[in-house]
Amino acid sequence: MNGHVRAVPLAKAYRLLNHGPTVLVTAVHEGRRGILAAAWNVAIDFDPPRVAVILAKDSYTRSLVEASGRFAINVPCAAQAETVMRVGSVSGHDLTTDKFSHFGLRAEPGITSDAPLLEGCVAWLECRLIDEPHNQEKYDLFIGEVTAAFADDRVFSDGRWHFEGHDALRTLHYIAGGEFLSTGPSIQVRL
Amino acid sequence: MNGHVRAVPLAKAYRLLNHGPTVLVTAVHEGRRGILAAAWNVAIDFDPPRVAVILAKDSYTRSLVEASGRFAINVPCAAQAETVMRVGSVSGHDLTTDKFSHFGLRAEPGITSDAPLLEGCVAWLECRLIDEPHNQEKYDLFIGEVTAAFADDRVFSDGRWHFEGHDALRTLHYIAGGEFLSTGPSIQVRL
């Protein structure tokens, strides 16, 4: 990780997802790592800090989340748009190595879990799976409690995103067909 | 509604939320309407089209969703940033009229439900509540099946958002403290 990574207080972890970025979900089990792209993620609570993410039944990463009870949410930036598309273009089920090795992605284990934290992202949330079999089976909905959170302080500090002057670090918001929106100007409302 | 509103095929309704906008959730029961601002919303399926939203226990709109079994997700735009903050600044529990009357908001019932569709938004999803008492009680998580969807064709057509030239119609992505990000430039990846 680079020298800009700072811990985010757990009560503020939801702010990392509040503006709706597309994320990369990672997990590891018995040495095999998985990573998938997920536009369908959401903060659902701040105390305790909880998030939810949709993991398709056929995804390899899902099987690792179920086996390990841990996952990480990595928030990628504009500089990683191609990486996000690449990891979404192939299934870990179809690879002989893991997807990190296959694509040459650098990552390291988290502090509270071994789920990989991808280098170059602008935020990371380490999560413990809250087992909810009905949601997982019926809706592919996985709920996690955030156990640690980090962000790149060039673009997130004091609980706020501030991307001005850092276009390559802006978060990605997926539309379709390989197209993302990055974040735009700030709008401040004072009532 | 204005002349730019077009129906969105149900299978593409998730695209309206895919990029992570902050939304306004509306509902009506026995003539009383409610509206609240929700950054915590997510598409969870495209077939059948389903969405999820967090509705706090003390919100008046939540009681209307529970009573009516219907709600609408309205996607507001930059021109409505102050409206989004205003509706979030007061509870329907504390008003003698409904929040639409209180703030002078114009809305009309949907096609498949009576939940109000707010004028000036850029997309709308009408939803039928899928009753999940455990999720609603434990996580404040409400799941809906989308029964109709619409968007403003100046910024959404053929299943894609395209905001260029329409800054006032860009969606809002809430940070904190009255600050939103609007959408920025498109990033197209071709592998």
- Give DSSP secondary structure letters for A128-155: EEE--HHHHHHH-EEEEEEEEEEEETTT
Closest chain B residue to the Cα of A186, Cα to Cα: B181
Measured distance CA(B187)–CA(B108) in Å, rounded = 36
pLDDT digits (tens, 9 = 90+) for B157-189: 999 999 999 999 999 999 999 999 999 999 999
The model's pLDDT over A88-138, given as tens digits with 9 standing for 90+, comes to 888 889 988 889 999 999 999 999 999 999 999 999 999 999 999 999 999
- Would the CB atoms of A180 and B170 count as touching at under 8 Å? no
The minimal CB distance from A135 to the residues B19, B85, B135 is found for B135
**Contact at CB, A189 and B78, closer than 8 angstroms:** no
Q: Which pair of structure tokens corresponds to residue B11?
A: 């299978």
B24-78 per-position pLDDT tens digit: 999 999 999 999 999 999 999 999 999 999 999 999 999 999 999 999 999 999 9
CA B32 to chain centre: 18
Which residues in chain A have Cβ-Cβ distances shorter than 8 Å to B160? 175-177, 179
pLDDT of residue B92: 87
Residue contact B183–A183, C-beta within 8 A: yes
User: Which pLDDT tens digit goes with each residue over B108-151?
Assistant: 999 999 999 999 999 999 999 999 999 999 999 999 999 999 99
**What tokens were used for A186?**
């700030």
Q: What is the predicted pLDDT for the residue at B2?
A: 81
Nearest Cβ partner for B191 among A40, A86, A163: A86
CATH class of the structural domain B5-182: mainly beta
pLDDT at A2 over 90: no
User: Among B158, B143, B175, which residue's Cα sits nearest to residue B73?
Assistant: B143
Q: Is the four-CA dihedral B75, B80, B86, B87 of positive or negative sign?
A: negative
**Mean predicted confidence (pLDDT) in B3-7:** 96
User: Which residues in chain A are closer than 8 Å to B186, comparing Cβ atoms?
Assistant: 175, 179-182
ipTM > 0.95 (yes/no) = yes
Taking the CB of residue A20, how many other CB atoms lie within 10 A of it?
32
Q: Do the Cβ atoms of B184 and A184 come within 8 Å?
A: yes
Residues of B in contact with A170 (CB under 8 A): 184
Vertex A15 angle, CA B151 and B58, to 5°: 75
SS3 A168: helix
- The average pLDDT across A166-176 equals 98
CA–CA separation, B78 and A124 (whole Å): 28
Contacts of A52 in chain B (CB under 8 A): 42, 52, 139, 141
Q: How confident is the model at residue A20 (pLDDT cuts 50, 70, 90)?
A: very high
Answer yes or no: is pLDDT of B97 > 90. no
**How many Cβ pairs closer than 8 A exist between chain A and B?**
175
Q: Is the pLDDT of residue A147 over 90?
A: yes
- Quote helix, strand, coil % in chain A, to nearest 5: 25, 45, 35
Q: Are A100 and A33 in contact (CB under 8 A)?
A: yes
Angle at A88 between CA A85 and CA A94, to 5 degrees: 135
Residue ranges of domains in chain B: 5-182
Per-position b or e across A33-53, b if 16+ CB within 10 A of its CB: bbbbbbbbbbbbbbeebbbbb
Identify the closest residue of chain A to B186 by CA–CA distance: A181
User: What are A22-79's pLDDT values in tens digits?
Assistant: 999 999 999 999 999 999 999 999 999 999 999 999 999 999 999 999 999 999 999 9
The per-residue pLDDT for range A172-184, each reduced to its tens digit, is 999 999 999 999 9
